[in-house]
Structure 1
Amino acid sequence: MSHENKITEHPQEIASGTFRWSDLWKKEDWLAVWIGFIIIAIGIVSTLSGVFDFSAAKFSTWGNGNSLLEQFSSTFWLHLILTAVVLGVLFTIGNELKGISFRQYLPAFTGVFVLAVLVRLISAEYTLNRYLEWAFFALAAGLLIANTIGVPKWLRPAVQTEFYIKAGLVIMGFSVLFSNIVNFGLYGLGIAWIVTPIVILFMWLFGTRILRIDNKPLVITLATATSVCGTSAAIATGAASKAKKTDLSLAVSISIIFTILMMVFEPVLIRISGLGEVMGGALIGGTVDSTGAVAVAGTALGETAQTVAVLVKSIQNILIGFIAFAVAVFFTAHVKEKNNQTDQKVTAAEIWYRLPKFIIGFFAASLIASFIVVPLAGNEAVSNINEVLDQYKNWAFVLAFISTGLDTNFREYKEQMKGGKPLVLYVVGQVFNIVLTFAAVYILLSGKFFPLPNLAL
């Protein structure tokens, strides 16, 4: 079955351009917001009260003198059961409200969750964990099934990349504190907020005018995946531009492949070049797509590099909402869709209807953490809360990556690739991104033009 035939409704599809109250509990974007908020709320209450442990399951590294069986304690099994129940119940209710029966979804979710457990277990092996993040194994597992035996019909109801990752993004919003901007000041803003829009504009012009790619949602999705934070940005922009699942899968697949390569080789090249931890960490934070990969690559250079890399990427992540909104406005006003040959006046209501609502949840979570929880409970409490929430975000993301793989059949990409143009677009765009980011890093953090920032963070 092709990807296009499996699409029954796009989260941002405009039917009538009017808001209905039922959208709040029937549309995927809003449901992702509520799921994210419920998990955040429980995480806050459990951490601050200390009455119960809401921690999700986490696999410890095994294989380097540590036995695999050591982590299978009674506490681990309780956390794993809790993780399965929390995510299973919330996503089952969400799908029931969307119109997918729990009789169809729950068995399928169980199957995908078992795959997620196996992926997390394999990726925790010492050697594999040093070089590859779990996202690679999640995608690989899904791709292996989809391109060999095929996805069983009973498993398809739970193959929902966008739903899982949108909920994960809302949870992630709680960790993106606006105080990070203050800590790194104009240095991080200059690297993350000036370079990123320029790269997006360059890739848009290069893709549509030089390569002449007709699939404009694919171009903008790939551009933002390259310049912001990979999958998260691709999901947000894909929704805003009404990209098809095949567009999203292709953009995410290309992004993940090169993210893995850059995560492994960029720290090596930085060390050889002698850039140092501050400049090297900033370069990694501005060019490696995935936040998880940024942390891993930064760690390879040192603790300071990791801090700078994650800080730059966190500041860059804040752009997701603004970019998604800008793309929604631009595509609604200026990009004519194939099935709509008539000019259409853009109204504020139509733009609102098309805006990815889960981005609102992302910002709301960030604001709650920054301006409510931090003042009331302190930074240490927020850090403890994020330790709990981070694993739920990771489980949502691993479900999403597995779904992406299960939803990806390479035979269907032949027409999309059109001589490899999307691949050329990504490579040229990423090279431009690296060069421009390096220029910004050199100007701001070499110490030759501006005083170096206080990194006692």
Structure 2
Amino acid sequence: MSDVTQALPGKRRAIESSVPRGGLFANEDWWSVWIGLTVIVVAWVLFANGSSLKWLAVAPAKWKTLAEAGQGIASHWPNYLALFATFALLLGTALAVLGQSLSRFLPSFLILFVASLLIFTASAWNQAARYNLEAPLIALLLGLLVSNTVTLPEWFQSGLRVEFYIKVGIVLLGATLPLTLLVWAGPVAVGQATIVSLATFFTIFFAGKALGLDKRFAAVLGVGGAVCGVSASIAAGGAVRAKREHASMAITLVVVWAIVMIFVLPFASRALGLSTAVAGAWIGTSEFADAAGIAAAQAYGDVARNAGGAIAGAPDAAVQAFTLMKVVGRDIWIGIWAFALAWVAATRWNSESGVRAKADAREIWARFPKFVIGFVLASALVTWIASHYSLADYRKIVTPDLVAPISALRTWAFTFCFLSIGLTTRLRSLTAIGWRPLLAFTIGVAVNVVIGYVLSVHVFADYWNGLGG
């Protein structure tokens, strides 16, 4: 497997998991919906019967000394064991149905879980905030360090399911975002995403053509930068019948720039004094992958939480704004771009070669990210539950006993994802791409970041700041 293909947890697996297949249990997208909703429904049933999922949704407490940290893990080992078993059962069932090897996945996931626990513990150090040792950044940096200095065994790749973990986490995230918020801010997110998606795509596409790239390759690069890098690149490649290596190179560029933005965007947001919600919207507009964006938004929210009021807005508003902007706004463009480009390829580009590409309305549904449905359903369910309580009772009863445990499980899923990103990214893969694709994509990055800043900080700032009150 080349360096380029290792920019993800295996190009072959990424392509296979992203190819649309029929049925409600036929791909990771649908399984992320069922897993997320199962967790939420179980949490609701327990809550309705006077219990809670808190025992399972365990996380390390703050500590001062290594002895305290070790004692915390030792005293809660049954909780952590049960948590591992639950994740292994849910994820393993899905992968078994999808034909994946459990004999490879389970040992790999065990190592990933233990590493995530240690990362959580490190971020719970009472001095962690002083050194910006937030869990997402620790996971990413540790993964990058290992993957770029050690040759990992092939079987270990089976547990590094970047997209699967992030999709499950996003469905769980829906339980923390009321449906009323989606209705209120959703049109703004879609409008802002439309501007950014069109501007970024055509910038990269025309820059690529000007640099002499094949138009199909330029289209794949453009969609990768305009929407959600990995899934969008694969979808666009299939729509225009691009060469397989074109999708691989686009994915590599997306992953590398997404990792860069994990550090750049929160740092720039802090330097510019942005509120958590506005920063989250900017990250959602300018990041190139869901997982990387969640890491950046969560990191900025954690900084705000430990800043003693120096950053305006609620800490959770960063992730909420990011999710509205990226998941509700930009990700829905995957199917739209796939349909539009398939139509263009069929009616114009293929006239020279005689190859036909199918373009019909079913392509939009086939390429639509199904986990968005789970996200909305989770939001609707918790909104219905909250409607039976006053605001005071919701914060006093529902939040700690129902929403907080779901949020903790979401954080675990995100940490699995962040660590997997680092462990599957080879920085030296850029050498296999060439300067022309890199330059075309980088021009799009610059346009994307600037337009995202203007829209988030100036044009729609009032809407986003409404999240951070």
Normalised TM-score (structure 2): 0.77
2:446 match = 427
Distance 2:419 2:66 in 1: 29
Question: 1:139-162: CA deviations, max 9, x gaps?
Answer: 222222222121112312212111
1:358 match = 371
Q: Which amino acid aligns with 2:385?
A: V
Change (3 A) 1:53 1:435: closer
1:448 match = none
Q: Contact 1:203–1:219 at 8 Å: present in 2 too?
A: yes
Structure 1 runs not aligned, ≥5 long:
225-232, 271-278, 446-451
Change (3 A) 1:166 1:312: closer
2:35 match = 35
Q: Given the alignment of the two structures, is residue 198 of structure 1 paired with residue 210 of structure 2, yes or no?
A: no
2:407 match = 390
Change (3 A) 1:285 1:103: closer
Q: CA deviation at 1:430?
A: 0.8
Question: 1:79-132: CA deviations, max 9, x gaps?
Answer: 322221111111111111111232222112112212222222233334444524
Q: Which amino acid aligns with 1:7?
A: R
The counterpart of 1:261, out of the listed 264, 283, 294, is 264
Taking the TM superposition and a 5 Å limit, the aligned residue runs for 1:22-421 are: 23-54=23-54, 55-63=56-64, 67-69=68-70, 71-72=72-73, 74=75, 76-130=76-130, 131-180=132-181, 192-212=189-209, 214-224=217-227, 233-234=228-229, 237-238=232-233, 240-241=235-236, 244=247, 247-248=250-251, 250-270=253-273, 280-288=275-283, 289-290=293-294, 291-296=297-302, 298-299=304-305, 300=307, 302=310, 304-306=312-314, 309=318, 312-313=321-322, 315-316=324-325, 317-320=327-330, 322-334=332-344, 342-370=355-383, 372-376=384-388, 379-380=394-395, 382-384=398-400, 385-416=402-433, 418=435, 420-421=438-439
Q: CA deviation at 1:440?
A: 0.9
Structure 2 runs not aligned, ≥5 long:
239-246, 284-292
Q: Which amino acid aligns with 2:419?
A: I
Change (3 A) 1:113 1:218: farther
Q: SS of the counterpart of 1:305?
A: coil
Q: SS of the counterpart of 1:356?
A: coil
Q: Contact 1:206–1:425 at 8 Å: present in 2 too?
A: yes
Question: 1:410-454: CA deviations, max 9, x gaps?
Answer: 232223363542344323421232133333157x58xxxxxx998
Question: 1:164-206: CA deviations, max 9, x gaps?
Answer: 1111121112222222257xx5xx5686443332122221111
Q: SS of the counterpart of 1:350?
A: helix
Distance 1:107 1:393 in 2: 22
Q: CA deviation at 1:25?
A: 2.5
Distance 1:52 1:438 in 2: 39
Change (3 A) 1:348 1:12: farther
Q: CA deviation at 1:261?
A: 2.9
Q: Contact 2:190–2:330 at 8 Å: present in 1 too?
A: no
2:242 match = none
Aligned length: 421
Change (3 A) 1:438 1:27: closer
Change (3 A) 1:326 1:114: same
Normalised TM-score (structure 1): 0.79
Question: 1:324-352: CA deviations, max 9, x gaps?
Answer: 443343344335799x9723242233332
Distance 2:249 2:468 in 1: 44
Distance 1:181 1:168 in 2: 17
Q: Contact 1:176–1:314 at 8 Å: present in 2 too?
A: no
Percent identity between matched residues is 23
Q: Higher mean Cα deviation, 393-402 or 120-129?
A: 120-129
2:287 match = none
Change (3 A) 1:65 1:155: closer
